[in-house]
Amino acid sequence: MLDMDLTQDNIKAILLDMFLAGIDSSASTVEWTMAELLKHPTAMKKLQEEVRNVVGNKPKVEMEDINKMSCLKCVFKETLRLHPVAPLLLPRHTSATVKVGGYDIPSNTTVLINAWAIQREPKWWEKPEEFIPERFENNPINFIGEDFQFIPFGVGRRSCPGLQFGVASVEYMIANLVYCFD
C-alpha cells in the first residue's frame, strides 16, 4: 500500500513516471533487438522475409499484422531473454522464513531477483549465451510470469504494469524497422 496522498497531482506524476519508464525501456529493447539482428544476418533475413510476406504491398506494418508474425515473436522473446530491461527485478520482502536452494531466508528480508542470471541459466537454456530465436518456436514458455526461467517483466503483483503496451509497441517498431530498411 502506498503511504502518500493520492491527489490529482500525485496521480499525474506517477502516471508520467510510468510512461517515461515505458518509453526508455521500449527504446532500449528495440536497440538490443536491432543490435542482435545486425550481428546475426540470417535471423535478420528470416525476420524481414516474414514481415514483408505478411505486410505485402502496404506502406507500413499495421497492428493486426503483428499477430501473424511468429518469427518476430521469437526474436522479441530471445532479445528479452538475453537483455532484460531490468536485470534485477524490484526488491521483494519475505513475509515468512523460507528455505531456498538450501539457504534459510529469514522473514522480512529484502530479496533481489537476478532475471539476467536466471535467463542465462544453462540447466534451463541450451547455449544460454547465444542469440537463438528459434528456441522459442513451438515453445510454450511465455514472459507473463508463469515460467520462472523467463521473467523479463517480473512476476506476480510486482510484474511490469506496462507489459501489454511495451510488447505491442516494441513488436510494432521492430516490424516496421525491418520492413522499411535493409
DSSP bridge pairs for 103: 100
- Its pTM stands at 0.85
Query: Which one, of 134, 109, 111, 131, lies nearest residue 120 by Cα?
Result: 131
For residue 122, give the C-alpha cell.
Answer: 544453462
3-state secondary structure of 162: coil
Give dist(CA 50, CA 48) in Å, integer.
5
- pLDDT per residue as tens digits for the range 150-174: 999 888 877 888 888 889 999 999 9
- pLDDT per residue as tens digits for the range 64-117: 999 999 999 999 999 999 999 889 988 888 999 999 889 999 999 999 999 999
The response to whether 160 counts as a known ligand-binding position is yes
Give dist(CA 61, CA 68) in Å, integer.
11
**Which of the residue ranges 22-26, 43-47, 89-93, 124-128 would you say has the lowest mean pLDDT?**
22-26
Query: How do beta strands 110-111 and 92-93 pair?
Result: antiparallel
